[in-house]
Amino acid sequence: MQNENAAISDWRCHACGKLLAKRQGNQLHIQIGDKHRYVIDGKATSICPRCGALNSAQTAEIVSDKQ
């Protein structure tokens, strides 16, 4: 279940500002048109559909068990 109180912010292309996804807590919520929706935990990489720039986002801190 999602945390209803988690802050929501935008993930935008660093080059042109196009909205790529919404961040909510440790997840990225991606919607493409009316039919395709994705929820991602971890690292995401996207090519901007407007300008072609490569964008990356880290949704949660990666914890290594190596010490």
pLDDT of the residue at 1: 46
What is the SS3 string spanning 5-32? CCCEEEEECCCCCCEEEEEECCEEEEEE
By three-state DSSP, how is residue 55 classified? Answer: strand
Sequence spans of domains, the chain: 17-58
How many Cα neighbours within 13 Å face the side chain of 5? 0
pTM: 0.76
Query: In the predicted model, is pLDDT for residue 59 greater than 90?
Result: no
Tens-digit pLDDT profile for residues 34-55: 999 999 998 999 999 999 999 9
